[in-house]
Structure 1
Amino acid sequence: MASGLRVGQVYRYAGSQDPKPATLNDHPNFHYVTHSPGFKRVLLTAGINGIAAVDAPDGTRRPAILVRSSPWKAGTEQTPWHDVFDLDNGHVRYFGDHKSGLTVAPGSTTGNSALLEAFTGHQGRTPAERTAAAPLLIFRAVPRNGQVKGYVEFCGVGIIERTERLVQWGGGEHTTFVNYVYDIALLGLTAEDDTVAWEWIRARRDKNVPHAEALEQAPRAWREWVKQGSSALPRLRRRIARAKVAKVRDQRPRPDGADAADLELVYKHFDGRKHDFEALAATVAAHVLRGAGHSYFEGWLTRRSGDGGADFVGRLDLGNGLAGTSLVVLGQAKCVKPDTLITAENIARVVARLRRGWIGVYVTTGSYSEPAQMEIAEDQYPIVLINGKSLVHELRSMARDDHGGDLSACIEHVLNGQEPAVTNRRPEEILLQ
């Protein structure tokens, strides 16, 4: 039997569920890797698959919950949501299994019920409570050999940090329904060479094995979380060291893709409409900063003349009370042709305005030149860069959440629904609000 599941490895998930061949179609056999003699097969037939709970000597525990995302279904009537996988930063945003047309309560569906139960365990206040908590094993379907089904990539071990009830669009009639969404922290597995030993899950399935004994087989990060709790997650979260400079081609949508059409739509809509694009850029910047879990306050747009390198102003709040502080956010917005490069000279106007305790945000429909990124990295300028590809990605996310996927309706809502103030106030005045 194979040693375990490796992060980033693609496994063949065959309908036969035969655990005997170690490989199938040149990929490791999922059922071979997860086979435990004497136990039922582990399945990925649903999006959320809980392994049956066992009554161990020191209490009941669920061995694990296997979570699978199918990106090829995203945006369909049956699966209108889009799960978010940010493996480099150890974050997954996963939508539950309540759907349009169901009459049962959102939290009572099989999958949501299992994840909400797991969330309770993940919020355990003592090591004893956390020892029995169910780990999430995260997978996502990936296309292989011309097929969109039958192959899954292992993404890691997760802990639910927070849950949220939200309203979604779905069904043939595009009606709204209530569902749960889960923010999941992926743990770093460097001590185990990015591998989860299946012996850990097998031990958790054995009703004769106490919680503490099964814990000995767990990855080091999981054991540390059990010992210290959620306060240790920032240190235990999976982090991948990445280059600070992105190739220009990686900042642009594929020419024949939907994102390229969206970016062209945005550019044509706002070309020559400076303040309108500034309002859109301010909203997208707020969405990006809030999406990272920060508290962000939108301020105002600057007047047409004399902005001195700032088109919008906001405030980033960190912590609370005496244990907190606030940072001024200066934003620059440039609606340019999608194939335009933003140079270091373009960014310099924003950088020149930054004071201690301020950060910059630059939002454009173009891309950032590599020399500009190098200068920012070398001089350690505190500035967030949002290129055209990221811009349409954020807009699409906003459109899915609040406008049934209608990008044009989302844009019009930004322009007509919020009416941001336009003023020539000093940026530091945002700290007084």
Structure 2
Amino acid sequence: MLEIMRYAQGASRVEVELDGYLNYHFMTAAPQVDGTPRLMLEAGINVAAMVEAPDRRRRPVISLRSSPWKAGHVTNPWHDEFDLDHGHVRYYGDHKPTTIGLPGATAGNRALLDAWALHAATDPHERLQAPPLMIYRAITVNRGGRTLVKGHVEFCGSAIIERLEHVVQRDPESGRSFPNLVLDLAVIDLADTGDALDMRWIDDRRHPQLDAEQAARHAPAAWRRWIRDGRAAIPRVRRRVVSSRVRSAEDQRPAAGSAEADLLQRLYTHFEGRKHVFELLAARVTAQILGRSGTRYHDGWLTRPGGDGGVDFVGRLDVGTAANNLPLVVLGQAKCVAPSSSISPDQVARVVARLRRGWIGVFVTTGVFSRQAQVEVIDDQYPLVLIDGKTLAEQVLRMAAADHNGNLGALLSSIIGDYDVAITYRRPDEILLG
């Protein structure tokens, strides 16, 4: 996991290293069959050729490559999202504005749709045929005094397709809308093998003389458990890095000079002197984040300025199905501070003190959370979601692109216009009655 490799299209498959990095083509070469095609990474979705196995034809593997340096910002919020410490990747398909037909018209998307049928199968024998998804992302390196954005990839693990959706994207150059696929991928846990993948698994899946059972003999334990138990096993086989929950200040701030950094400073300047209005933006961002978690989020209201007692907005999160659900009160705190500022444990504790049994809290800020504030939330197991400046900026960019064609000014104007009607003088628990 997270090994950086040198990827050169025509590189030798027998040289271990290339330019000081592991040679991708050596690492992915199939030793048992001469003339086996290379596993290429020339496209975003790279589909290995079908194998005529003894039991049935199978797809050995699908390799996904993400190139963060190509991702848009203000006008294109649909860039791939990686949260490897929590075993999640959100990956967009290869349909383009110029592609004719539905999202399955391209070879890459068509292969993903075929793979999804096997990954979502209820029969273990069908899941046994499912091609693993190998995930890579392009990495910028410094070599020989030069900064190189191409030619190097980072291995990000193997994944199960957890969810597939159809979405509509907007081309940042032409402004045209087009359909596409988006996948939520569960990156599997490799802790039992030292966070490393045994490539004999992929070699076996490419071997035409092995059936599916034989080809799984070197599969990770997490993958074999998923084959046996299906979707119910995903939470137990997903990759987890426990120490990742405490984030450094640098990880909570956008990169200097980035679109997110410029936006964060603009937000701070825009709401300076009217920070109470920032509460509505924080509530909207909370709705967007919690609403994408697979639960249903309901907007509530803002509390009156100056008398909130540590609570700025109220919402409701419904967990479960429509017939069998648990409604949870969401209490939110918003702090519009200088992006370089840090939120202390005392400020976080003020929100926690207002929570009752079965309620959850959300703290949204343009700054960062101190290490001690995060440690106390984790150690005391507080039901509190922390949304830092970097996350805030990323979400606001998406909101502006999705609802205002990338016009941040229009988004902020709508926030100001809606502020007065959003204030309600009600108790938080009254949202459970709606």
TM-score strictly above 0.5 = yes
Matches within 5 A, 1:84-103: 84-103=81-100
Q: Give the corresponding residue for 1:376.
A: 377
Counterpart-to-counterpart distance in 2, 1:409 and 1:395? 12
Q: Give the corresponding residue for 1:13.
A: 7
Q: Give the corresponding residue for 2:148.
A: 147
Q: Give the corresponding residue for 1:22.
A: 16
Selected match of 1:83 from 66, 80, 84: 80
Q: 1:318 aligns to what SS in structure 2?
A: strand
- Once the 2 structures are TM-superposed, how far is the Cα of residue 96 of structure 1 from its aligned partner? 0.4
Counterpart-to-counterpart distance in 2, 1:374 and 1:210? 49
CA 1:78–1:300 in structure 2 vs 1: closer, same or farther (change >3 Å)? closer
CA 1:227–1:418 in structure 2 vs 1: closer, same or farther (change >3 Å)? farther
- Once the 2 structures are TM-superposed, how far is the Cα of residue 313 of structure 1 from its aligned partner? 0.3
Structure 2 counterpart of 1:19, one-letter code: R
Structure 1 counterpart of 2:82, one-letter code: F
Counterpart-to-counterpart distance in 2, 1:304 and 1:424? 10
Counterpart-to-counterpart distance in 2, 1:256 and 1:34? 37
1:70/1:140 contact within 8 Å kept: yes
Q: 1:138 aligns to what SS in structure 2?
A: strand
Structure 2 counterpart of 1:8, one-letter code: L
Deviating more after overlay: 414-423 vs 202-211: 414-423
Cα deviation per residue 1:259-314 (whole Å; 9 max; x = unaligned)? 22111111111122244211100011112222333322111111224222211101
Structure 2 counterpart of 1:13, one-letter code: Y
CA 1:61–1:283 in structure 2 vs 1: closer, same or farther (change >3 Å)? same
CA 1:179–1:34 in structure 2 vs 1: closer, same or farther (change >3 Å)? same
1:80/1:169 contact within 8 Å kept: no
Deviating more after overlay: 14-23 vs 333-342: 333-342
Q: Give the corresponding residue for 1:430.
A: 431
1:403/1:409 contact within 8 Å kept: yes
Q: Give the corresponding residue for 1:40.
A: 37
CA 1:161–1:271 in structure 2 vs 1: closer, same or farther (change >3 Å)? same
1:301/1:420 contact within 8 Å kept: no
2:74/2:397 contact within 8 Å kept: no
Counterpart-to-counterpart distance in 2, 1:377 and 1:187? 24
Structure 2 counterpart of 1:21, one-letter code: E
Cα deviation per residue 1:347-402 (whole Å; 9 max; x = unaligned)? 33322211111111111112223333343334332222222222112212333444
Q: Give the corresponding residue for 1:126.
A: 123
Counterpart-to-counterpart distance in 1, 2:203 and 2:133? 14
CA 1:134–1:249 in structure 2 vs 1: closer, same or farther (change >3 Å)? closer
Structure 1 counterpart of 2:92, one-letter code: F
Matches within 5 A, 1:253-332: 253-320=254-321, 323-332=324-333
* Structure 2 unaligned blocks of 5 or more: none
Structure 2 counterpart of 1:97, one-letter code: D
Q: Is 1:55 the counterpart of 2:52 in the alignment?
A: yes
Q: RMSD of aligned C-alpha atoms?
A: 2.3
CA 1:178–1:414 in structure 2 vs 1: closer, same or farther (change >3 Å)? farther
Matches within 5 A, 1:399-410: 399-410=400-411
TM-score normalised by structure 1 residue count: 0.92
Counterpart-to-counterpart distance in 2, 1:204 and 1:305? 64
Structure 2 counterpart of 1:307, one-letter code: D
Q: 1:133 aligns to what SS in structure 2?
A: coil
Counterpart-to-counterpart distance in 1, 2:245 and 2:115? 36
Deviating more after overlay: 317-326 vs 26-35: 317-326
Q: How many residue pairs are counted as aligned between the two chains?
A: 427
Matches within 5 A, 1:96-245: 96-144=93-141, 145=143, 146-170=147-171, 172-242=173-243, 244-245=245-246
CA 1:81–1:244 in structure 2 vs 1: closer, same or farther (change >3 Å)? closer
**Same amino acid, percent of matched pairs:** 49
2:17/2:23 contact within 8 Å kept: yes
Deviating more after overlay: 9-18 vs 78-87: 78-87
Counterpart-to-counterpart distance in 2, 1:243 and 1:98? 34
Structure 2 counterpart of 1:33, one-letter code: M
Counterpart-to-counterpart distance in 1, 2:433 and 2:67? 46
- Once the 2 structures are TM-superposed, how far is the Cα of residue 218 of structure 1 from its aligned partner? 1.1
Cα deviation per residue 1:173-208 (whole Å; 9 max; x = unaligned)? 221111111111110011222222222122212222
Counterpart-to-counterpart distance in 1, 2:314 and 2:77? 34
1:84/1:93 contact within 8 Å kept: yes
Q: 2:101 aligns to what SS in structure 1?
A: coil
Counterpart-to-counterpart distance in 1, 2:232 and 2:363? 32
Deviating more after overlay: 228-237 vs 342-351: 342-351
Q: Give the corresponding residue for 2:338.
A: 337
Counterpart-to-counterpart distance in 1, 2:392 and 2:421? 19
Q: Give the corresponding residue for 1:3.
A: none
